[in-house]
Structure 1
């Protein structure tokens, strides 16, 4: 498994990889990461709910709140914080787009 040094933006997908809902899932350093388009911007969150490992990429979006498809735990895609239980969160990554390329900043391992 390739590990990337912290602090670098790495290419993970292309804009054309986003589905009709504006979503895709990529692998970054062995983790599934959901990329979602919300209000015209891209956000990247860990694709596993900490409760029961539900695939967040398949959950419903209500504004910036992404609901786990298993038990509807609500996570803010901007911060990763669970709005119903603020001490629970999923990891997030900074996202940038260069041309058609989607890049994530690997800021910690």
Structure 2
């Protein structure tokens, strides 16, 4: 799915792309973004760990913390922050659901540590 909607949101997929674990990888302006459904809410982060570019979408998820599959660096999918390494973070994206459509903010954001 392509094209920006008002407010800078891009339709990226429909809910049926989420796997049995509530995950998917979508493209947002050419960047791979991992979607995670936790407690009925969708969260989105850049899919590459800043340490060694491990695919976060393939990592273990415990609560709101995903662990990179390469070296287990943890990242809070709500903030992008790495609790093990202060100041290290991944880009997060605001997610909206309209009907069956998943929309992701085009800009993404990096939270202040």
How far apart in 2 are the matches of 1:4 and 1:14? 16
For the residues of structure 2 that align with 1:98 and 1:7, how far apart are their CA atoms?
A: 14
Please give the TM-score of this superposition, normalised by the length of structure 2: 0.88
Q: What is the match of residue 21 of structure 1?
A: 21
Q: Distance in 1 between matches of 2:9 and 2:54?
A: 27
RMSD: 2.1
Q: Which has the higher contact order (CA 8 A, sep 6+)?
A: 1
Q: Could you tell me how far apart the structure 1 residues matched to 2:108 and 2:38 are?
A: 24
What is residue 61 of structure 1 aligned with on the other side?
Answer: 61
The 1:24/1:39 distance shift into structure 2, 3 A limit, reads same
TM-score w.r.t. the length of structure 1 is 0.91
Give aligned pairs, total: 108
With over 3 angstroms needed to count, the CA separation of the structure-2 counterparts of 1:6 and 1:69, relative to structure 1, is farther
Unpaired runs of 5+ residues, structure 2, are: none
Mark the CA change 1:99 to 1:61 in structure 2 (over 3 Å): closer, same or farther.
Answer: same
Question: Paired residue for 1:91?
Answer: 91
Deviates more, 1:4-13 or 1:79-88: 4-13
Q: Is the 8 A contact 1:6 1:106 kept in 2?
A: no
